[in-house]
Amino acid sequence: MATIAEQTTGQVDERYGNKFIPVTVNAAGTAITVGTTLLGGLLVTEASGAVTVTIPESTAAAGKVFPIGSTFDVFCSGAGGVTVAKTGSDTLTGTATIAQNVRKTVTKVAATEWVIA
């Protein structure tokens, strides 16, 4: 169980099988760019307005850090919904809109291709 201090910083751990996965809570933000701290973890959005989660282009410096097989989950607990977006020429396959109380996994399956399932 996370302490109040841990919860208010937005960084808590969720018990997942025999390991802990990092959980990032975005309470009020409307735009998030995926970084390495999110890989293998869970992003929980709590905003009442729409939230956009952007994946950096694979050929850009910020995108080169994601090897094939990289994953992260997004759970939308806020009423506004979440849209997963890409930049540049990368391909994003699957439904990019995540409704309230839905969790989706985003996986890099090729050098410039991501799948949402």
Look at residue 85 and tell me if it is in a domain.
yes
Give the confidence band of 22 by pLDDT, cuts at 50, 70, 90.
Answer: confident
21: which 2 tokens? 């996965």
Look at residue 98 and tell me if it is in a domain.
yes
Look at residue 28 and tell me if it is in a domain.
yes
- Spatial distance between the Cα atoms of 72 and 42, rounded to a whole number of angstroms: 6
Where do we find the tokens 């439904």?
A: 95
- Answer whether residue 115 shows pLDDT above 50: yes
> What is residue 63's predicted lDDT score, i.e. its pLDDT?
85
Give the number of other CB atoms < 10 A from CB of residue 22: 16
Tell me if the pTM is above 0.95.
no
Look at residue 66 and tell me if it is in a domain.
yes
62: which 2 tokens? 């910020």
Whole domain around residue 36: which residue ranges?
Answer: 11-116
- Spatial distance between the Cα atoms of 45 and 70, rounded to a whole number of angstroms: 20
Sign of CA dihedral 49, 50, 55, 56: negative
* Structural domain total, the chain: 1
- Cross-strand bridge partners of residue 15: 20
Q: pLDDT by residue (tens digit) across 31-81?
A: 999 988 888 899 999 888 999 999 999 988 888 889 999 999 999 998 989
Give the confidence band of 86 by pLDDT, cuts at 50, 70, 90.
Answer: very high
